[in-house]
Structures are given as C-alpha cells and as structure tokens.
Amino acid sequence: MRRVAVLLSLVVASTAGAQGSFEGVVTYQMGNSGDTWQYSAKGSKVRMDMSNAKMPGGVSAIMDMSALTTTVLMNQQHMYMTMPIPQSATLPDSIHGSVTKTGSEVIAGIPCDDYVGTDAKGAKSGTVCLAHGMGNFAQFGANNPLMRQYSSRISGFSGAMSGGGFPLKIVKEDGQTTMLATKVEKKSLDASLFSIPTGYTQMQMPAGMPQH
C-alpha cells in the first residue's frame, strides 16, 4: 500500500490545483546524494529544476495551472515537450488511513507542523513537515479531485492541509530524510522563468501519450 507520507510527497501534478500566495524560490536537498532541486512559484505557474552529476544541464518542468499544461525542458538538448494535465483521477480502493500532528519545528526560517501517516492496518509511515500560510504546493490545491478523495478517505487530512500545505521536510519511516528545504526565498520572479526558452525545439511525444 502506498503510505500517506508518499501521497504528500508527490511533485508531479496529476490534476490542476490552486497555487496560493507564495511567490519565490525554495531550494531542497534530496536525501544524502547531494542532489538539489529548486521549486519556483509565481501566480498560477510553478517551475521545478532538478539536477545532479548524472544529468548535465538538468531537467526542468513548468506547470501552468491556468492553461492546464506541464512542459518538460531538457536543458542540455535544448528541447521541450508539453502535455496536458489530466483532469480526472481516482485513488486505488486500498488507500485509507489517517494523519496525525506530532509536533512543530522551524525549517529554513519557516515554521511547519509535523504529521505522521498511518495506513488502514495501523502501520505508521514517515513524517512530513507542512508549512501553512505559503499557499498550496503544486498539486495540493483544493480544486484537485485527488485532494478531495484524500480528505474523504484519510482522517485528519483536511486539517493537515488547512491554510495550505507546503512540505519543507519529508522523513521516511526508517528515519532517513528524503527531502529537506535548505533555503526559502520570498521574492518577485520574472515571468520569463516560466516560459519556454528561446532556441528550444519541440520534441515529439511518444506514441500513445496525450498531445497538446
């Protein structure tokens, strides 16, 4: 069964969600690998930049919640592909459980609350530290059908997401930190950051994938 902490750590939107009020950049460290990830938000748009030693130039994803599209940028190849964000999704019947607040802490200067997930059999998962008041992270908006399904199936989920849910730390059940915000910068961002760079060529989508 997919644990509640994993549900909260999804970073690729499956449906559209409101972004809330945060504008700026959050830098994350991913586990102990030294990999970094930047999350930038402005209005209805989000950009995620991922890079590591095995991926020169990195890969970026731009999510436009008004146009309901995700654009993936392959920066080394100067190529991109755009696909629609699906507007319907259903959780597996096996997903049920609860989330419980266990404490609070301050990460990268931002207060957040720790929530532990428990599945339908009573097994506990890891911990997610959610900041409130920063708006909704990527797909966590109230308009997302999956969020409404989570709320109906997972006790305490609505309360955890009240005031917006923005993860600053994710810790697995074995105590390993898989995602940690190291810097939160609230600042105005140029709109060009959320556009396809000049000189990038559109890549044809693989057969069977939705076109846009």
pLDDT tens-place string over residues 166-197 = 899 999 888 889 999 999 999 999 999 999 99
User: Phi-psi region for residue 202, left (φ > 0), alpha (ψ -120 to 50) or beta?
Assistant: beta
| pLDDT at residue 205 in the model | 62
Distance CA 25, CA 22 (A): 9
Closest CA to 118 of 135, 90, 95, 134: 95
Q: Which residues pair with 103 in a beta bridge?
A: 114
Distance CA 51, CA 80 (A): 16
| pLDDT at residue 124 in the model | 82
Which residue bears the tokens 């266990």? 102
- Whether pLDDT at 100 is above 70: yes
| pLDDT at residue 44 in the model | 85
| pLDDT at residue 40 in the model | 95
- Whether pLDDT at 16 is above 60: no
Which residue bears the tokens 């008041």? 133
| pLDDT at residue 97 in the model | 81
Global pTM reads 0.80
| pLDDT at residue 184 in the model | 96
The CATH class of the 4-201 domain is mainly beta
Domain ranges in the chain?
4-201
51-99: pLDDT as tens digits:
766 666 788 999 888 888 899 999 989 999 998 877 666 777 777 788 8
Distance CA 93, CA 206 (A): 30
| pLDDT at residue 1 in the model | 34
Q: How confident is the model at residue 154 (pLDDT cuts 50, 70, 90)?
A: confident
- Helices and strands of the chain, counted as H and E runs: 3, 13
| pLDDT at residue 114 in the model | 95
User: In this predicted model, which residue has the larger pLDDT, 192 or 161?
Assistant: 192
15-19, 43-47, 51-55: range with lowest mean pLDDT: 15-19
Q: How confident is the model at residue 210 (pLDDT cuts 50, 70, 90)?
A: low
Over residues 112-137, the mean pLDDT reads 87
